Copies of this chain bind each other. A is one copy, B any other.
């Protein structure tokens, strides 16, 4: 149903990122790369979930995921959320005023791919959303192949209660696989109690 891909950020990243954040009106200072040593302080060896943190993630590194949402996915999400906005169920309604070519996938369902990447890959299991800003630029249609990506922009070590804890800032994007159009962009801030930043 979906595929996970990890790769380093491309030279085109900076330009695309600028495009997004000019629209959002956000700005983040450029930082020099530093390594992050990721490890797991699991005090309970009997823990039911086995966690693997990737070592040596660097600022600028990117994780991506490809996906198509089916009509069944849209129905399932409407049942979960109660969001039966006809834009998601009625093609004729969605086409009125020339707005869309067909009914569209819920924006929040689309953005769930970013939660997937943050919570399972970058920065990974145990991440907790502190904040999320999203700009919805273009519609996502049923069965349209899209690619979600998160890029690690900053990692700040906090030292509360004697523990080193980390706040991650990731830039998020969702693009059309067919033509590369930017569909959704934003910034998320995530907290992680089990990762530690080692500045070099």
A contact set with B: CB distance below 8 Å: 1-2, 24, 41-44, 46-49, 51, 65, 67, 73, 76-77, 80-90, 92-93, 96-97, 99, 106-109, 111-113, 115-116, 119-120, 125-136, 163, 193-194
Q: Is the CB of B84 within 8 A of A73?
A: no
Q: Is the CB of A97 within 8 A of B136?
A: no
Give this chain's copy count.
2
Q: Is the CB of A126 within 8 A of B76?
A: no
Q: Is the CB of B82 within 8 A of A120?
A: yes
Q: Is the CB of B47 within 8 A of A93?
A: yes
Query: Which single member of B41, B49, B130 contacts A97 (CB below 8 Å)?
Result: B41
Q: Is the CB of A85 within 8 A of B126?
A: yes
- A90 / chain B contacts, CB cutoff of 8 Å: 47-49
Most chain B beta-carbon neighbours within 10 Å: one of A85, A111, A127, A194: A85
Q: Is the CB of B76 within 8 A of A80?
A: yes
Q: How distant is the Cα of A96 from the Cα of B135 in the complex, in angstroms?
A: 34
- A77 / chain B contacts, CB cutoff of 8 Å: 80, 112
Chain B, Cβ-Cβ closest to A43: B96
- A132 / chain B contacts, CB cutoff of 8 Å: 107, 132-134, 136
Q: Is the CB of A96 within 8 A of B42?
A: yes
Query: Which single member of B86, B115, B163 contacts A49 (CB below 8 Å)?
Result: B86
Q: How distant is the Cα of A47 from the Cα of B94 in the complex, in angstroms?
A: 11
- A82 / chain B contacts, CB cutoff of 8 Å: 1-2, 65, 67, 112-113, 116, 120
